[in-house]
Chains A and B, each alone.
Chain A
Amino acid sequence: MTKVFGSFVANDHIDLTIEPGEIHALLGENGAGKSTMMNVLYGLYDADGGEILIDGKPVKFSGPGDAVAAGIGMVHQHFMLVPVFTVAESVALGYEPTKSLGLLDLAEARKKVRDISSRFNFNIDPDALIEDLPVGAQQRVEIIKALSRDAEILILDEPTAVLTPQETDELISIMRQLKEQGTSIVFITHKLREVRAIADSITVIRRGKIVGEASPESTEAELASQMVGRNVSLTTEKDTADPGDATFKVRNLTVVDKTENVVVDDVSFDLHRGEILAVAGVQGNGQTELAETIIGLTEPRLGTITLDGKNLVGQSVKSRLGSGIGFVPEDRSTDGIIAEFAIRENMILDVYDRAPYAKGLNLKSAVITEAAKRKVDEFDIRLGSVFDPIATLSGGNQQKVVLSRELGRDLRLFIASQPTRGLDVGSIEFVHKRVIAERDAGTPCLIVSTELDEVYGLADRIAVMYSGRIVGIVGADTSREALGLMMAGVPAEEALAATAGHDDAATAGHDDAATAASETNSATTSAEETK
């Protein structure tokens, strides 16, 4: 199978065979072409070459409807659910049971949801609104949707990206149940731990090509090097922190969104100079809003934010930047850069109106170009010319431009939200090194991340957020399982007590061997639990 976007070959002659009743993992980095391939399989894209065979017969899909009819179901990375619909309506959409005049038979739709939900213990109310459900439950609705159409092959695209470790375990047990009932599952991921816990066979994709098969018995390091194409270190080296004074303080911060939901709930913490505080938690538990409130994009309802003894609440974003805050936003492409602007312009978005870049009403073009070239060298940004639009760069290089801008001033506080989301392994290493260097220079750093690997790689202390609150602030040596429980809302002491028996191996902290051991530990535990 081949799929080409313009001059970019997303899938280059891919061959893949899926046996009935097996869980087949498709492993590859972001942008390797996994999702593209599955979208072709599901009929959303037309293939530019190759063919799809089901039970030896060639099939041709002109749209997802055909794929569904052929017994293929897909759970997309971004859920395909209408937020204002009920569960029953979402499941019925496209395959509506009707009475006369085309009126919906909602009783039938509800019954279908209840049947499947009780068969797998999903515990889903057919009349709940999608937008009121937690992501884990929305994912189960997606699975119900696929099963209600008698899917024999289920494609799960990065299903664990939005789940807590406990929800991930639940999903893994659901996948095993499905497999027992004869459903084949294609499981797309870049997370090595999950692959080893669940997959029967593994195919590794790199840059649109299949680079090999792997067995679930391979070690994580082997899988990683196969995925990236070279040996990589899975953790970042850093010295122990040497924390100074607590110069950044947040007290009783409460933020309310437009619909009066409390999104940040009475949050208080201190951040010391020369330390990295990582905010862990499942996406959507208030981390984004916390970061945006500190920089001033949102005003809090209650509470104070003090930096170097000065209260920031009520000040404009510009004056906060002037106080020395560097901010890497979560969504790089919409908030971090202006896609049509040149690279050199993107580098001065925060200081365009100041010397040496501006004089009066004029921008000083030569100075800007000169500074941009310096930053390109310093941050190792791969580009054609600094005059090109930033949209021409890869994600990793775009993020380096953002970092070069935000770290380019003298900082008193550095905030980064999901700094490595969607980046390749090489860029992740680079970003982590720069953040640690900033810490070593004495800047207090606040890193928001939903990836536990990143949290462990960077943090000196870890704050876990759940439902807008900080559940607890714990040391970087806390076990993965304890963090997982905290991410589900269990208070720190209880989480630590509940997992005390398991985490002996992890207490040694974040050096390579121990982390790997703890990861193996949690993977096998979850496998045992599900048996």
Chain B
Amino acid sequence: MTAQILEEKSASQSKALAPIVWKFPITYSILALVSLIFFGILGRDGETTFRIATGGDFFAIPDVVVSSTVAGLVLSIILVIMAAAAIYFAIKRVTLAAWFPMVFGILFVVSFLAWAGGGSGGVIPLTTLLAGALALSVPLIFGAMCGLVGERSGIINIAIEGQLLAGAFLAAVVASVVKNPYAGLLAAPIAGALVAVVLTFFAVKYWVNQIIIGVVLNVLVVGLTSFLYSTVLTQNPELWNARQKLPNLPIPLLSDIPILGRVLFDQNILVYIMYVVVIALQIFVFRSKWGLRMRAVGEHPKAADTVGIKVNFTRVRNTLMAGAIAGLGGAFFTVGSGLAFGKEMSAGQGYIALAAMILGKWNPKGALLAALLFGFSKSLGNTLQSIGTPVANELLLMLPYIVTVLAVAGFVGRVRPPAAEGVPYVK
């Protein structure tokens, strides 16, 4: 009887198929055609050099030199085949695996680079491109981890931007005064956590709309740091705002691996801390008592309350910790990069971090990949600017933001934020 019901059900359900989702195949097709026409058929004569080696490698890898047109054509044909496959699977209503857009994106970018490097006989420094991508991603990754911990416990944190900036400021000042970059590293989390104190105070105690406080806090931190910069820091930059750089600590052997070893394991301590934070969060959010309670409070606070979990205390504690993480990320702008503090130097990275968190579906791993994507697109823009391409500089500067909008609008699709985020818990 039950079997019969189930059978009928599946028979009738097959009539009500979901409409075919065309947006992905169409996007792939357009990109494949752009690649084929501009990078392949109308490609520029000449050769492109992909440079892998950097000075002081364990062993030197020779440059890869390809003909711009041939590389464009070959890659474009692969892209066209992939686009055709995407159309086929869309008609069959098969959802593509996550590697598909990644491989497609990488091939498209390589095809573009081959074209961009051609003509002028340009050299594409691959290792520099990737190292730049990681460096530009570091604050984004810290910021995204901060947003994730906050929202998983039910507090929306728009103030990541302000926390990054506050962290950058305090790190620079403390490092400069103490004349030790590591002191700045200790101070940065405090700045981020202080911003979070204000956020949670108004959000939890007075139930103020969390998005509004977040935006106000960003403006407040920009105003405060700019004021102190103009009045105090510029008066005596030797004392207050001297450059301090965290030294690179290459990890033996690992850092000698070509390309990735250089990029990943010849870094300062802040980057290594980032690896630890991401891995620890990936484990602890989903597998620990702390993570279970945090997620319960963010999804169904009343259920957590009925088993004796202090909802608001949990939220405040986690959001403060998240603020400290963002503050640490802010330190990368100053002591992490060996720069002095400059007005509004976080430049909207906090908002991009928020986008990375959403694109990563509130998972540390996903947020990491999304932040790396944004960092890479920015690094790509920088590299292209420096080798000189026919594309206008202003357009290249827009690249990371275009990628953000496309990624969040197009590929996020069905995401489910924590059910109780932004809702104050009132008994």
| Chain A positions near chain B (C-beta within 8 angstroms) | 42, 44-45, 63-66, 68, 74, 76, 79-85, 89, 92-96, 98, 101-104, 106, 145, 254, 256, 258-260, 262, 265-266, 301-302, 467, 469, 489-491, 494
Kindly name the residue among A65, A82, A262 whose own CB sees the greatest number of chain B CB atoms within 10 A. A82
Question: How far is B427's CA from A44's CA once the two chains are assembled, in angstroms?
Answer: 8
**Contact residues in B for A102 (Cβ distance below 8 Å):** 284, 288-290
Interface contact A94-B299, CB-CB below 8 Å: no
Interface contact B308-A65, CB-CB below 8 Å: yes
Interface contact A93-B293, CB-CB below 8 Å: yes
Interface contact B16-A64, CB-CB below 8 Å: no
Q: Across the interface, name the chain B residue whose C-beta is closest to A92.
A: B292
The answer to whether residues A81 and B414 also contact, given A98-B289, A102-B288, A254-B16 and a CB cut-off of 8 A, is no
Interface contact A95-B296, CB-CB below 8 Å: no
B304 within 8 A of A: yes
B1 within 8 A of A: yes
The answer to whether residues A89 and B292 also contact, given A68-B307, A84-B299 and a CB cut-off of 8 A, is yes
Q: Across the interface, name the chain A residue whose C-beta is closest to B309.
A: A94
Produce 1/0 per residue, B282-312, CB < 8 A to A: 0110011110110110011011111111100
Interface contact A83-B308, CB-CB below 8 Å: no
**Cβ-defined partner of B15 (8 Å) among A92, A101, A266:** A266
Interface contact B303-A80, CB-CB below 8 Å: yes
Interface contact A469-B305, CB-CB below 8 Å: no
Q: How distant is A372 from chain B, measured CB to nearest CB, in Å?
A: 33
**Cβ-defined partner of A81 (8 Å) among B16, B303, B310:** B303
Interface contact A64-B308, CB-CB below 8 Å: yes
**Cβ-defined partner of B307 (8 Å) among A79, A93, A104, A494:** A93
10 A-B pairs besides A81-B303, A93-B304, A94-B308 with CB distance below 8 A are A63-B310, A64-B306, A95-B307, A98-B288, A265-B13, A265-B16, A301-B16, A467-B9, A469-B12, A494-B1
Question: How far is B245's CA from A95's CA once the two chains are assembled, in angstroms?
Answer: 46
Interface contact A104-B288, CB-CB below 8 Å: yes
Interface contact B15-A83, CB-CB below 8 Å: no
Question: How far is B416's CA from A83's CA once the two chains are assembled, in angstroms?
Answer: 12
Q: List 28 A-B contacts (CB under 8 A).
A: A63-B308, A63-B310, A64-B305, A64-B306, A65-B307, A65-B308, A66-B308, A74-B306, A81-B300, A82-B299, A82-B303, A83-B299, A84-B299, A85-B292, A93-B293, A101-B288, A102-B284, A103-B287, A103-B289, A104-B288, A104-B289, A104-B292, A106-B287, A254-B16, A259-B414, A262-B13, A467-B9, A491-B1
Interface contact B414-A80, CB-CB below 8 Å: no
Q: Is the interface of B mostly helix, strand, loop or mixed?
A: helix
Question: How far is B302's CA from A302's CA once the two chains are assembled, in angstroms?
Answer: 39
**Contact residues in B for A103 (Cβ distance below 8 Å):** 283-284, 287-289
Produce 1/0 per residue, B254-290, CB < 8 A to A: 0000000000000000000000000000011001111
Kindly name the residue among B295, B303, B416, B427 whose own CB sees the greatest number of chain A CB atoms within 10 A. B303
**Contact residues in A for B106 (Cβ distance below 8 Å):** none
Which residues of B in the span 293-351 have a Cβ within 8 Å of any Cβ on A?
293, 295-296, 299-300, 302-310
Q: How distant is B285 from chain A, measured CB to nearest CB, in Å?
A: 11
B409 within 8 A of A: no
The answer to whether residues A93 and B16 also contact, given A64-B308, A104-B287 and a CB cut-off of 8 A, is no
**Contact residues in A for B300 (Cβ distance below 8 Å):** 80-83
Q: Across the interface, name the chain B residue whose C-beta is closest to A109.
A: B292
Interface contact B289-A265, CB-CB below 8 Å: no
Q: Across the interface, name the chain A residue whose C-beta is closest to B418.
A: A84
Question: How far is B289's CA from A438's CA once the two chains are assembled, in angstroms?
Answer: 57
**Cβ-defined partner of A489 (8 Å) among B5, B419, B427:** B5
Q: How distant is B171 from chain A, measured CB to nearest CB, in Å?
A: 29
**Cβ-defined partner of A82 (8 Å) among B16, B290, B295:** B295
**Contact residues in B for A469 (Cβ distance below 8 Å):** 9, 12
The answer to whether residues A258 and B9 also contact, given A68-B308, A102-B290 and a CB cut-off of 8 A, is no
B392 within 8 A of A: no
Question: How far is B305's CA from A95's CA once the two chains are assembled, in angstroms?
Answer: 13
Question: How far is B304's CA from A489's CA once the two chains are assembled, in angstroms?
Answer: 34
9 tightest A-B CB contacts, nearest first: A65-B308, A94-B307, A80-B303, A254-B16, A96-B289, A266-B12, A82-B300, A80-B306, A82-B299
Question: How far is B299's CA from A79's CA once the two chains are assembled, in angstroms?
Answer: 13
Question: How far is B5's CA from A104's CA once the two chains are assembled, in angstroms?
Answer: 40
**Contact residues in A for B288 (Cβ distance below 8 Å):** 98, 101-104
**Contact residues in A for B287 (Cβ distance below 8 Å):** 103-104, 106
Interface contact A44-B16, CB-CB below 8 Å: no
Question: How far is B426's CA from A45's CA once the two chains are assembled, in angstroms?
Answer: 12
B18 within 8 A of A: yes
**Contact residues in A for B304 (Cβ distance below 8 Å):** 93-94
**Cβ-defined partner of B1 (8 Å) among A44, A84, A265, A490:** A490
Q: How distant is B414 from chain A, measured CB to nearest CB, in Å?
A: 7
Question: How far is B285's CA from A102's CA once the two chains are assembled, in angstroms?
Answer: 11
**Contact residues in B for A301 (Cβ distance below 8 Å):** 16
Interface contact A76-B289, CB-CB below 8 Å: no
Q: How distant is A162 from chain B, measured CB to nearest CB, in Å?
A: 16
Question: How far is B308's CA from A74's CA once the two chains are assembled, in angstroms?
Answer: 13
The answer to whether residues A96 and B292 also contact, given A76-B306, A83-B299 and a CB cut-off of 8 A, is yes
The answer to whether residues A265 and B308 also contact, given A101-B288, A102-B288 and a CB cut-off of 8 A, is no
Question: How far is B295's CA from A94's CA once the two chains are assembled, in angstroms?
Answer: 12
Question: How far is B289's CA from A42's CA once the two chains are assembled, in angstroms?
Answer: 24
Interface contact B307-A64, CB-CB below 8 Å: yes
Question: How far is B17's CA from A448's CA once the two chains are assembled, in angstroms?
Answer: 27
**Contact residues in A for B2 (Cβ distance below 8 Å):** 489
**Contact residues in A for B16 (Cβ distance below 8 Å):** 254, 256, 262, 265-266, 301-302
**Contact residues in B for A494 (Cβ distance below 8 Å):** 1
Q: How distant is B196 from chain A, measured CB to nearest CB, in Å?
A: 22
Q: How distant is B73 from chain A, measured CB to nearest CB, in Å?
A: 40
Q: Across the interface, name the chain A residue whose C-beta is closest to B419.
A: A83
Q: How distant is B344 from chain A, measured CB to nearest CB, in Å?
A: 38
Question: How far is B416's CA from A259's CA once the two chains are assembled, in angstroms?
Answer: 11
**Contact residues in B for A94 (Cβ distance below 8 Å):** 293, 304, 307-309
Q: Across the interface, name the chain A residue whose C-beta is closest to B308.
A: A65
**Contact residues in A for B12 (Cβ distance below 8 Å):** 254, 265-266, 469
Question: How far is B33's CA from A183's CA once the two chains are assembled, in angstroms?
Answer: 71
Interface contact B414-A85, CB-CB below 8 Å: no
Question: How far is B94's CA from A89's CA once the two chains are assembled, in angstroms?
Answer: 32
**Contact residues in A for B302 (Cβ distance below 8 Å):** 80
Question: How far is B119's CA from A275's CA once the two chains are assembled, in angstroms?
Answer: 81
Q: How distant is A129 from chain B, measured CB to nearest CB, in Å?
A: 12
Question: How far is B306's CA from A83's CA once the two chains are assembled, in angstroms?
Answer: 15
**Contact residues in A for B290 (Cβ distance below 8 Å):** 102
Q: Across the interface, name the chain B residue whose C-beta is closest to A81.
A: B303
